[in-house]
Amino acid sequence: MGKKGLSSITKKLIMAVTGGGLVFFLLFHGAMNVVSIFSEDGYRWICEFLGANWYAIVGTIGLAILVILHLIYAFILSYQNFKARGRQRYAVNERPEGVSWASKNMLAIGAFILFGLVFHLYDFWSKMQLAELKGGAPVDGIDQIKFIFSNNYFSIMYLLWLVAIWFHLSHGIASVMQSIGWNNHVWQNRIEWLGKFFAAVIVLMFASVVIYYWLIV
């Protein structure tokens, strides 16, 4: 722990609070997407509601701030851990018992998710909210979903992206629960299972939309 700057506990808390906020976003985003399976008109209404209206723009800015803070502190914490491990990192490359693959690779998986997010924002957001902000007309949400997921290559890329998101969330959600204080021995195991469970619920909401429009419609 350095003399200046935030303590490492504060930095971990910033990761937990921003990560927790992003999990809530994903719950809403996933649930809204599932509507597209049951009601095309319902989904169109949601897209209109979340277009270039002031509250949707405030939401987008808030979300961008969460993503940027999460990213900056991910690099700061990873760099500190890397420095703290010192020479040991060359001698020890097996993972200790009980440390999951996901928890050791959060930065790399996160980077892959960010890479996918750039493509996702191009596929949807740039043609909807951004297009409207630039004074044009947004594309129809349902048409865009059908267009993207009728393509085998895009559908497979989205499913791979969702697998990475499952790994990241399974460890991330468990970490958030630990940061808010549920870290005793009895709960350790349960927290890990709860993390995996909630991550699966979130990812399956998105995956069901991809699979439905790719293979069923």
Q: Which of 73, 112, 124, 198 binds ligand HEM (CB under 6 A)?
A: 124
Rule CB under 6 A: say whether 209 interacts with ligand HEM. Answer: yes
Q: Which is nearer to ligand HEM, 33 or 179 (CB)?
A: 33
Q: Is 199 in the site for ligand HEM (CB under 6 A)?
A: no
| Shortest Å distance, C-beta 171 to ligand HEM | 15
The stretch among 96-104, 118-126, 174-182, 184-192 that binds ligand HEM (CB under 6 A) is: 118-126
Of 139, 119, 120, the closest CA to residue 129 belongs to 139
Q: Contact 203/166 with Cβ under 8 angstroms?
A: yes
CB of 120 to ligand HEM, least distance (A): 5
Q: Shortest gap between Cβ of 11 and ligand HEM (angstroms)?
A: 22
Q: Site residues for ligand HEM, window 51-110 (CB under 6 A)?
A: 51, 59-60, 63
- Cβ within 8 Å of residue 152, ≥6 positions away: 214
Please list the alpha-helical segments (H only) found in the chain: 8-38, 40-49, 54-85, 88-91, 101-104, 106-123, 129-133, 141-149, 152-179, 185-211
Binding ligand HEM by CB under 6 A: which of 73, 167, 206, 214?
206
Does position 170 interact with ligand HEM (CB under 6 A)? The reply is no
- SS3 of residue 177 by DSSP: helix
Among residues 28, 15, 12, 4, the alpha carbon closest in space to that of 206 is found at 28
- Nearest approach in angstroms of CB 132 to ligand HEM is 8
Instruction: Give the whole-angstrom CA distance, residue 172 versus residue 124.
Output: 26
CB neighbours of 62 closer than 8 A, spacing ≥ 6? none
Q: Which residue has the tokens 């700057």?
A: 5
Applying CB under 6 A, which of residues 20, 21, 141, 172 lies at the interface with ligand HEM? 141
Q: Does 23 bind ligand HEM (CB under 6 A)?
A: no
Which stretches of the chain bind ligand HEM, using CB under 6 A? 26, 29, 33, 47, 50-51, 59-60, 63, 113, 117, 120-121, 124-125, 128-129, 141, 145, 165, 206, 209-210
